[in-house]
A and B are shown apart, each in its own frame.
Chain A
Amino acid sequence: MAELSTLDLTPGGQTAHVWQGGDPLSPTLLFLHPVTGIPRWGGALEQLAQDFRVIAPYQPGWGPAKDDLPGVRDGLDLVLFNVDLLSTLQAGPAHVVGVSIGGWIGAEIAAIRPDAVQSLTLVNPLGIWSEQHQGEDIFAQHPGQPSAVLFSDPAKRAELLMADRDQLDAYVEELLDLRASAKFLWPIPDTGVGRRLVRIDTRTLVVTSDADQIVAGQLGDIWRSAIPGAQSVEINGSGHLADLEAPEALAEIVRDFALEGVTA
């Protein structure tokens, strides 16, 4: 079973709120959550924990770390946070899996600290802008159900994001998670990471979802072609949040790629 704990990181001194699950002796996997954070232990995290020691921090500003947002200004601060976390946990190089905004953070870590990354899987990554493939604006949605557009079917929001939680708290957290995302992606999700992708020399897989209304498949091609040697694969029947909508399929893809070097 997984555990949510609070750690003080060295040398940065920040506080991290981290889910950890799986066998501590299994290969380490750093999971970088999407714009909606981590609603609960479950989904792809639970699946991945069968094969990996899963480390899944809330990035500063998300979930229980909501008040830490002012302390981070840009992608470099997020890279340092995650590198410090791995260092504090003495976790060594990790298989890094980033979904949505987590894909951007994962790519930055691989570009800046390649020694910390054993393999890189980017799932529906945000952070590169294309005029031709803009997708829906995640920040211009109906305030009553702001994350509905992230699912292949809007009704899945209630089931996969909000269920089994206090509805008021879950809604406030949903808005605050999107606020944290906006800090880095507003008003256009162009973080400049595209200029740094050429530095990535880690084995990389770009995963897209065929029903993602935010990151079009063509945008996945732009990521893949910008990262030397990267491969790509598509998940069927999932929207932007593949970790929630297609947990088994995503975990299988990650397992095959990270541990076996196989791409479906």
Chain B
Amino acid sequence: MKFHWFNLMPWPHLPDDFRETNRSVWVDVDSRLYDPVEGHRVYNEYLDQLEYAASLGFDGIGVNEHHQNAYGMMPSPQIMAASLTRRTKDVTLLLLGQSIALYNPPTRVAEEMAMLDVMSGGRLVAGFPVGTSMDDNFCFGSNPATLRDKYRENHDLIRRAWEDPEVFSWNGEFNKIRYVNIWPRPIQKPPPVWIPGGGSVETWDFCAEMGYNYSYLSFNGYVRGEALMQGFWNRLGELGVEFNPFQGAFAQQIVVAETDDQAEQMYTEHMQYFFDKCLHVYPGFADAPGYRTENTIRAGLRAGGAQGLGIAHTLTWDDWVREGYIVAGSPDSVAEQIEALATKLQVGHLVSLLHVGNMPDDKARASTKLFAEQVMPRVKHIWEDYEDHWSPKPIGSQDVATPAPVYSGAN
């Protein structure tokens, strides 16, 4: 099993009465709650944590994309990933991901991801989500009625821009470019593609068709995620795709302390901050008409609609652990829960959200260190009989460039 350290990069200073004074953490959240000078400190702290995780032996470190969002302050995952290329060596850069339907021309995405792959020596995972309705439709104004068609065309264009050595023209419905010929080209041919999704049937078929990794990014936790991941594996089976756990990834919030009690004492307030404030999204922004396909709408209605996140902020620590919203406790407890997660979900990649809500740096590092040193060694063997085709293939160490020391002055 492989572990990727991930931080959503939340704004850690939302007021106690945030739910009462703001209708949404996303799209129209009050910008006056943000302090750019404090933001400077927070960005550096979060980037330090990603580099710290790399030094502890995590397989990957992850960044993602959100817009006008107080719980996810990475409008550009490329900028974040670029800053991580220089001070890390062999860790996977999990860019999970870029909402490729939003960019015109999408060759810009192809270029920036190629740059990242070259800068990092072939360590990039390219995440291609459709993106959320909040980001795509409401923040970027992308039309929900054509979003998925545009997504597919942009995907096809990016892949060809990476892989076709010839100059070509693209006369699509959404993009018309007479000369496509990106420089640089990625090291990997192509970088492994992961598709973050939330349960759309069409996305499963797309992953099956293209041989991509499907990453279920949910804050509902692994207990509630079981049915959905099983749906994915079943669909792959129906389509004749051989099971390989590394074709699946799951995002899970995790906190570790010396004991179970200590974990509860240390982390409850930060989990509460996350569920109470960071997930306070106005429902009218969650699902623009057309964002979901008819198939997905009907499947959701048959399943009784989405339940879970709406109530998470009303639950207690014991509820969160029992229902799998969080994996939490001592290293022994966490290892047991990870084993249960792997059994239920059958995923080879765990996107490990080890910084949560307004967690301060010392707690994030303590939790991360315990996980890396006392949990990962006990669960890494899971799925060791399978070959991982969805991780990067970096260049050899003999070819890796080392940043020169910074010139420190005439003396």
A residues with CB within 8 A of B: 61, 66, 69-70, 137, 139-144, 146, 168, 171-172, 175-176, 178-183, 186-188
Contacts and interface: CB of A to CB of B under 8 A. Distances in A.
Contact of B290 (A137, A142, A143, A178): A178
12 contacts: A69-B145, A137-B284, A140-B138, A140-B284, A140-B288, A143-B283, A176-B290, A180-B145, A182-B143, A182-B290, A186-B145, A186-B288
A11 B137 CA distance: 36
Contact of B285 (A140, A178, A181): A140
Given A182-B145, A186-B137, A186-B145, A139 B294 contact: no
Given A66-B294, A171-B301, A172-B298, A142 B145 contact: no
B294 A186 contact: no
A182 B144 contact: yes
Task: Give the most central of B137, B145, B149, B292: most A CB within 10 Å.
Answer: B145
B233 to A, nearest CB: 27
Interface residues of B, number: 22
Contacts of B297: 172, 175
Interface string B134-162: 00011001011110010000000000000
B287 interface: yes
Interface string B275-301: 000000011111111101010011001
Interface of B: 137-138, 141, 143-146, 149, 282-290, 292, 294, 297-298, 301
A228 B390 CA distance: 64
A186 B144 contact: yes
B135 to A, nearest CB: 13
A179 B138 contact: no
Contacts of A141: 284
Given A141-B284, A143-B284, A175-B297, 6 more contacts: A139-B289, A143-B287, A168-B298, A171-B301, A186-B145, A187-B137
A-B pairs, top 4 by smallest CB distance, nearest first, are: A179-B290, A178-B289, A183-B145, A140-B284
Contacts of B145: 61, 69, 179-180, 182-183, 186
Nearest to A188: B141
B289 A182 contact: yes
A183 B284 contact: no
Contacts of B290: 175-176, 178-179, 182-183
Contacts of B282: 140
A143 B283 CA distance: 7
Contacts of B144: 139, 179, 182, 186
A24 B119 CA distance: 73
A69 B148 CA distance: 13
Nearest to B287: A143
A88 B391 CA distance: 59
A144 B294 CA distance: 15
Contact of B143 (A61, A142, A171, A186): A186
